[in-house]
Amino acid sequence: MKKCWNPFCRKPIKEDAEYCVYCRAWQRLPIVILGVLVPLLSIIILVFKFPQGCIPGPIATSTPTTSITVVTKTTIIDETIEIVNTPTPKIIITPTSSSKEEKALNGKIVFTCQVDKTIGHDQICIINADGSGKKQLTNNLNSENYYPSLYGKGSKVIFSSSMNGGYELFSVDTDGKNLKQLTSNHGEFYSSDVSPDGKYILATRHQNGKNYISLLRIDGSFIGDLNSYYDCKEPVWSPDGSEILFAANTESKGIQFYTMDKDGNNVRKISNLSYLTGRSDWGPNGQMASFSGEYKKQNRELFLFDEKGAVDYLTNGGDNLAPSFSPDGSWIAFTSYRDNFGDPDGCEIYLMRLSDGYVKRVTDNDYCDYQPRWGD
């Protein structure tokens, strides 16, 4: 128990955590003398020199107080906060999982496969995103098959084929069954993309030497042309289906990217780059992806861009093209010659994780695999 000296008493007094025991009244005579002679000194000593709780006076009682606690609601990612009830509260942060942990690669990738190394014998193939389950969906070496993409929650593939003469749109199930021709008598169709709601098809239509961005119903019936800018091509839907991204050479200075509303109005130029060819994609997080460079120089590189014109290059060497976003937007599939540089039959399908640039090879053949499109 702690002791302290009270100058107004003749003996020490005791103090514990709750109260003091004070001197009796008859012991306080020095108080009167000192109070008359040195009031100022007494005040100074009382206030500044001695510990709190040893100053004479009535025994202190506990006075209720109101405590106001402000709680701020926050969201903590990948962390659990535990409040430990100790005299000095501590915050213990426990990680729940590694942010670098690789998630499972989901969905399927459909692509063009040049199965016998012969130009004009291109077929449509499909593979799981993890590299398993490769399957050839078409098997007609008398026709050319290009520009596949998935729709119907990953159950169907739409593509362009010359199997019945000119290039028309066809659909087939992902198991290779139910092959069906969708278009006829409206020119030739390429690079199609099904709307997010599954009701409409965008496609490049070529007729009488001119390109159009055209809109069709999901059964292939023709609705109309949205525009006819010089060399307009490669249309893709925005994630919500309200806009369309496409390429065109409207200024006769080379291909650039444009967006427009789904009805063809409000056309906006969003790029100012060199050596664009047109193949692009619009990811679920709003990012866009394409490539630039020259085929003959084998210097094509992938980049991300947006509607404000910002550009972020993803590759540096290897001759890379035709990016396609994964369903969750965290990866892209693309074509590259990086492992067979200079070999005309050396293009394969690769995946890149956008968070850190990690690259994974998906196909491994002695012929060219290209034009990947990732879907559910």
**H/E run at residue 34:** helix 29-37
Residues 272-325 pLDDT 10s: 999 999 899 999 999 999 999 999 999 999 999 999 989 999 999 999 999 999
- pLDDT of residue 234 exceeding 50: yes
Asked if residues 244 and 262 have their Cβ atoms less than 8 Å apart, the reply is yes
Q: Classify residue 20 by its DSSP letter.
A: B
- pLDDT of residue 347 exceeding 80: yes
Q: Percent of the chain beyond pLDDT 90?
A: 67
The pair phi, psi for residue 27, each rounded to 5°, is -90, 0
Q: What residue type is assigned to position 264 of the chain? A: G
More confident of the two residues 250 and 237: 237
Q: Where are the domains of the chain?
A: 19-58, 108-375
Structure confidence at residue 103 (pLDDT): 65
Domain 108-375 annotated CATH 2.120.10.30: yes
Mark residue 133 as left, alpha or beta (left: phi above 0; alpha: psi -120 to 50; beta: remaining): left
Where residue 147 falls among pLDDT bands split at 50, 70, 90?
A: very high
- pLDDT of residue 68 exceeding 50: no
- pLDDT of residue 227 exceeding 80: yes
Question: pTM above the 0.95 mark?
Answer: no
Where residue 231 falls among pLDDT bands split at 50, 70, 90?
A: confident
Question: Which string of b and e fits 231-264 if b means at least 16 CB within 10 Å?
Answer: ebbbbbbbeeeebbbbbbbeeeeebbbbbbebee
Residues 10-46 pLDDT 10s: 334 333 333 333 333 434 444 434 454 445 555 544 4
Residue 204 half-sphere exposure, CB side, CA atoms within 13 Å? 25
- pLDDT of residue 80 exceeding 80: no
- pLDDT of residue 73 exceeding 80: no
The pair phi, psi for residue 186, each rounded to 5°, is -130, 30
Structure confidence at residue 252 (pLDDT): 86
